[in-house]
């Protein structure tokens, strides 16, 4: 579904992604982890061209996303993207946030867009908050609305960049529960997270990045086993110390 | 003072209308409202050019802003009044001349205010719009501008009151707005400048003060709606 071939990226003189080649199969969930500054966020942001790459190719569904013929907005409607800070539009109600892509991309009227948006809110368990403003709901609820908004155009891929890192601990579980559910429904997912319990349970493969390179790509069983990569072992023990 | 109001009150409000042209306070208001209505879209275009990606547009907009800010409005009025008719080959009504000068002048200032509002938004807002696949137009008009303009409402009102006050410069090119009318009253009444210009000052004050109060109220209302706070009315 998503294929990275020799992908490199520089920020000025600094090479932040180093010749990454890897594949994400359709319907699978990939968890990306690694120390901060390892390039996980940058890598997932290249998939919907929020970041450009200087070398290599990325294909999504067989299409080279950086080809001249590709319309970047069409590409992005097929890829849901979730940010750490939710980035809901504060001047719009919850339902208007969710309806926005339908109305402004599919050019639907409010009346046409409403049923699908309400259904999507029901799916994330927030139908009762439809008319609230983002300022009135909790962080966990905000992130669920952001997920509903990014799924409203039925993308085949969902990318999550530390979806629970800005949440209070008691709100992390409600978001993870939703992600578990989505992962089970067969959407292709790439998720940057430090939630190792979630990774162990949901991920089909875990990618470990260090200094911009993909140093280890393994199934969770191997990733968390004693036979794992030495860098991973160090990383895991450093996270555990903090918990 | 009352005597002046009694005698010239109607003139102060509507000039010589219906026997002559509409003037006085009514004309001041019309000039101000029309000027703002025309300035606003111009200012938005300038702000978008200033904050956008296109280098030529950026250069044109910033050249315009810096030039206009470096000259007095009065000079723009002289230009519009004396030079513009020669350039285009036919005379323009003084009222329109004044409006054109104010629009050019204020578009630069209001454009900078709106640009600041756009730059002040968190980067995540634009990124979220991009990530959803929204193009430039919906991102600008549905996501960026509604927030940016709301955030700079105080600055916009400030410019509105400035426009009302600046319209008094029309008296120099014989636009019969409020100040011009009072100048005429003063030449009739020679000995009462204190009262006459007192009335003039009070009229401007009431107009501008009421406007900024009304906007404060409006701003609070929107802010309460956006942050979810319920406005509690105190019942005495």
Tell me: the pLDDT tens digits for B189-209?
Answer: 889 999 999 999 999 999 999
In chain B, what residues touch A133 (CB-CB under 8 Å)? 225-228
Both tokens of residue A56?
């290599």
Residue-level pLDDT at B179: 95
Both tokens of residue B21?
């042209």
Q: Which of A97, A91, A149 is nearest to A124 (CA)?
A: A149
Residue to substitute from A75, A104, A120, A159, interface B, most B β-carbons within 10 A: A104
The residues spanned by each domain of chain B are 2-227
- Beta-bridged to residue A218, according to DSSP, are A206
CB atoms B133 and A101 under 8 Å: yes
The residues spanned by each domain of chain A are 1-72+196-243
Residue-level pLDDT at B222: 75
The predicted-structure confidence for B99-150, as pLDDT tens digits, reads as follows 999 999 999 999 999 999 999 999 999 999 999 999 999 999 999 999 999 8
CB atoms A76 and B130 under 8 Å: yes
In terms of phi and psi (left: phi > 0; alpha: psi -120 to 50; beta: otherwise), the region of A45 is alpha
Residue to substitute from B121, B129, B131, B148, interface A, most A β-carbons within 10 A: B131
The answer regarding whether domain A1-72+196-243 maps to CATH 3.30.420.40 reads no
Residue-level pLDDT at B233: 39
From residue A144, how far is each of A48, A122, A182 by CA, in Å? 20, 11, 12
Residue-level pLDDT at B225: 67
H/E element, B93: none
Question: Which of the following CATH numbers is that of domain B2-227: 2.60.40.420, 1.10.3720.10, 2.60.40.10, 3.40.50.2300?
Answer: 1.10.3720.10
Residue-level pLDDT at A240: 74
CB atoms B142 and A100 under 8 Å: yes
Measure in Å the smallest separation between the Cα of A240 and chain B Cα atoms.
Answer: 31
Residue A95 and residue A108: Cα distance in Å, rounded?
14
Task: Specify the 3-state DSSP secondary structure of B223.
Answer: helix
Confidence of residue B230 (pLDDT cuts 50, 70, 90): very low
Residue A108 contacts B, CB cutoff 8 Å: no
The predicted-structure confidence for B54-64, as pLDDT tens digits, reads as follows 999 999 999 99
Taking all residues of chain B, what is their mean pLDDT, rounded to a whole number?
A: 90
Measure in Å the smallest separation between the Cα of A196 and chain B Cα atoms.
Answer: 26
Residue-level pLDDT at B231: 40
Block mean pLDDT (10 aa), chain A, length 243: 95 94 95 93 95 95 93 95 95 96 94 95 94 93 95 94 91 91 91 92 94 94 90 87 61
Residue B146 and residue B144: Cα distance in Å, rounded?
6
């Amino acid at each position: 579904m998503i294929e990275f071939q020799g992908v490199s990226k520089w920020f000025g003189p600094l090479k932040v992604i180093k010749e990454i080649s890897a594949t994400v199969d359709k319907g699978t969930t990939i968890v990306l982890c690694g120390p901060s500054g390892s390039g996980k966020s940058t890598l997932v942001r290249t998939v919907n061209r929020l970041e450009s790459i200087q070398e290599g190719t990325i294909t999504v569904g067989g299409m080279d996303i950086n080809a001249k013929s590709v319309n970047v907005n069409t590409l992005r409607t097929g890829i849901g993207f979730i940010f750490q800070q939710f980035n809901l539009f504060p001047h719009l109600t919850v339902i208007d946030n969710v309806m926005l892509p339908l109305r402004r991309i599919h050019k639907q009227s409010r009346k046409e867009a409403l049923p699908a948006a309400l259904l999507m809110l029901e799916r994330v368990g927030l139908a009762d908050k439809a008319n609230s403003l983002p300022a009135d709901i909790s962080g966990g609820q905000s992130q669920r609305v952001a997920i509903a908004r990014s799924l409203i155009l039925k993308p085949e891929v969902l990318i999550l960049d530390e979806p629970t890192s800005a949440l209070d601990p008691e709100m992390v579980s409600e978001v993870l529960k939703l992600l578990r559910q989505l992962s089970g429904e067969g959407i292709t997912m790439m998720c940057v997270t430090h939630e190792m319990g979630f990774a162990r349970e949901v991920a089909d493969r875990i990618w470990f990045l260090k200094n911009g390179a993909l140093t280890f790509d393994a199934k969770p069983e191997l990733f968390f086993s004693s036979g794992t990569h030495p860098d991973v072992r160090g990383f895991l023990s450093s996270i555990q110390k903090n918990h | 003072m009352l005597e002046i109001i009694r005698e010239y009150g109607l003139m102060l409000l509507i000039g010589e209308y219906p026997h002559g042209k509409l003037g006085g306070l009514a004309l001041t208001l019309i000039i101000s409202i029309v000027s703002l209505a025309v300035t606003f879209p111009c200012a938005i275009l300038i702000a978008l050019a200033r904050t956008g990606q296109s280098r030529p547009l950026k250069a044109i907009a910033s050249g315009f802003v810096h030039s206009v800010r470096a000259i007095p409005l009065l000079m723009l009025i002289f230009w519009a009044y004396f030079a513009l008719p020669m350039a285009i080959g036919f005379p323009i009504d003084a009222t329109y001349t004044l409006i054109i000068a104010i629009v050019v002048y204020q578009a630069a200032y209001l454009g900078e205010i709106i640009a600041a509002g756009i730059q002040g938004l968190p980067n995540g807002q634009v990124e979220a719009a991009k990530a959803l696949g929204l193009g430039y137009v919906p991102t600008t008009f549905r996501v960026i501008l509604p927030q940016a303009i709301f955030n700079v409402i105080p600055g916009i009102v400030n410019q509105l009151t400035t426009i009302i006050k600046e319209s008094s410069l029309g008296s120099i090119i014989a636009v019969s707005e409020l100040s011009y009318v009072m100048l005429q009253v003063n030449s009739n009444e020679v000995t009462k400048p204190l009262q006459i210009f007192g009335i003039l000052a009070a009229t401007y004050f009431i107009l501008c003060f009421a406007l900024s109060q009304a906007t404060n109220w409006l701003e609070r209302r929107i802010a309460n709606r956006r942050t979810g706070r319920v406005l509690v009315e105190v019942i005495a």
